[in-house]
Every structure is written in structure tokens, then in C-alpha cells.
Amino acid sequence: MLVPIILLLAAGASAGFLGGLLGIGGGLLVVAALSVALPALGVPRAEVMHVSVATSLATIVLTLASSAAAHIRRGSVVWRSWMWLAPGMAAGGVAGAHVAQLLSAQALRWVIAVFCAFMAWRMAFGKKASRDAERAERTPRSPWLLPAGAGIGALSAVAGIGGGSMTVPLLLALGVKPVRAVGTSAACGLVIAISSAATYALAMHRLPQPMPWGAVGYLYLPATAVVALASMTLAPLGARIAHAISGVALRRAFAVFLLVVGAVIAAGG
């Protein structure tokens, strides 16, 4: 019992730090940790992947609430862009959570493993913002942000993430300053996590197998509490460092780590 708890605490701490630093909630890392730890905590193996995704999203609600609050205090959320993205993200989060519940555990496992590999490639080799972009002060307000948000929300709900790995590059491409893209992404991820976690909690498409005490639909609240406790502690530190350094080296290191995470998830089946 102690080893799974230590694993979840470590995953939560890493996720919180990355949420503040890079605007990503570390959801893929949390999903991988949960997929290893949950069987030892009494979750039926047939439900482990769905519970891992749902519980990761529940932890992201708390992680990104802490991260977003830190960025809001520093004035790094572009609210006009957020207002265009958030409605689509909420709708996409609900839709994606419905789709994920219809997938088999093995299919969901491989979808997430492939997504890990793709995001690792993007983080390692994706286009970086130029110095001109870093000096730019643009505020995207296009109606196209609404469907873009819906797509990000749906993919995030299936993978169990807050969407920052997609939202940050989108905002950078539209001319938002990097640190403001990170802050806005944290506020956007909160919308995705709330809408999708609530949908998983309802478990509308099929009832899970008998679950241990503390489960609400596909959410396993004891694991949520352990991960969130660690993540909320480290999120403000990540946000503080994001205002002081470049994250390029860390992005590449995290890309390698994502490949390991994908391998762990794939091997779990």
C-alpha cells in the first residue's frame, strides 16, 4: 500500500511543477502512475484505464486551480482569448469523456500511448517562439478559437490531460507572449478538467465493475486527494520559475520522459 501512495505523491509533485512551469497539467504522467498504482488500491483491472483518466482529470482541477491562481496574480492570463476558447473546451471535454467511456480499456490504453509519443515529438522538435514573438503583445479573439477549443477539450478528455500541450503552442502561434500563453493555458485547462471529470463521475454509458470505497463513477477520490495534495504544493513554484527562465531544456527532457510514460502505459496491457 505504501509504494503506490509514494508513486502517486511523486507523480502529483511533478505534475504540479510542470503545470506551473509549462502550462501543462502533467496529466499523462499522472495517468501512467495511476495505471500502475490503482490495481494495488483495489480498482478492478478492467476499469483501471478509465479510472486513471478520470482521476487524472479530477486532480488537474485542483492542480490547475493552484497554477491558474498564481498566474492570475501575476497578470499573465489573456482573458479575451480565454473567453473564446473556454466554451468550446467545456463542450469538447464533455464529448471526449463520453467517447472515452465507449472505448475498451485496451483501446483507450493504446490511444493514450500513441498520444504520449506524439506529444513527446512536439515538445522535442516543435517550432519554438522567436524573439520577435516573445516581444509581441497580441490578443487573439478570432471566432475560430471556439472550434479549436472544442477539439483540444475532446482530445484532452480522452487522454486525461488539461490540454496545455496543445493550448500553449496554439496561443504562441497566434502571437501571445510565452509566459501569457502558459498562464492562459492553465486557466483553459481548468475548464476542460471540470467538464470532463464531471462527465466521468456520472458514468452514463456503462456502470463500472464493483469499485472500492471512495469511488464516484470513474473517479477514485482517495487517489485524487493524494495526487492533488502534492501537485498543489509545487504548482506555484513552477509558475514562479516560468517568469524567470526559458523552458527549452526542460521541454526536451520532458519529451524523453513522455516516451517512457507512453511505454509504461502500453506495457500495462
Taking only the tens place, the pLDDT of each residue in 96-126 is 999 999 998 889 989 988 888 887 787 677 6
3 state SS of 220: strand
pTM of the predicted protein model: 0.83
Whole-number Å distance between alpha carbons of 31 and 33: 6
Most confident of 92-96, 143-147, 253-257: 92-96
CA neighbours within 13 Å on the CB side: how many for 77?
A: 23
Is the pLDDT at 269 greater than 60, yes or no? no
Give residue 163's region: left, alpha or beta (phi > 0; psi -120 to 50).
Answer: left
C-alpha 93: how far from its chain's center?
Answer: 12
Give residue 24's region: left, alpha or beta (phi > 0; psi -120 to 50).
Answer: beta
Output the pLDDT for position 22: 63
User: SS3 breakdown of the chain: % helix, strand, coil, rounded to 5?
Assistant: 75, 0, 20
Asked if residues 42 and 60 have their Cβ atoms less than 8 Å apart, the reply is no
Residues 6+ apart with CB under 8 A from 214: 220, 221, 222
Percent of the chain, pLDDT > 70?
Answer: 84
Residues 6+ apart with CB under 8 A from 209: 44, 46, 47
Output the pLDDT for position 250: 56
216, β-bridge pairs: 219
Give me the amino acid identity at 97.
A
Asked if residues 19 and 235 have their Cβ atoms less than 8 Å apart, the reply is yes
Is the pLDDT at 80 greater than 50, yes or no? yes
Is the pLDDT at 208 greater than 70, yes or no? no
Does 199 or 250 have the greater pLDDT score?
A: 199
Is the pLDDT at 226 greater than 80, yes or no? yes
Name the band, by pLDDT with cuts 50, 70 and 90, for residue 28: confident
Angle (deg, nearest 10), helices 105-125 and 27-37: 140
The 3 state secondary structure assigned to 130-185 is CHHHHHCCCCCCCCCHHHHHHHHHHHHHHHCCCCHHHHHHHHHHCCCCHHHHHHHH
Does 260 or 163 have the greater pLDDT score?
A: 163
Whole-number Å distance between alpha carbons of 123 and 178: 14
Instruction: Give residue-wise pLDDT tens across range 178-187.
Output: 788 888 988 9
For residue 130, what is its C-alpha cell? 522567436
Output the pLDDT for position 223: 94
Q: Domains of the chain: which residue ranges?
A: 2-267
CA neighbours within 13 Å on the CB side: how many for 225?
A: 5
Name the band, by pLDDT with cuts 50, 70 and 90, for residue 132: very low
Whole-number Å distance between alpha carbons of 118 and 247: 19
Is the pLDDT at 23 greater than 90, yes or no? no
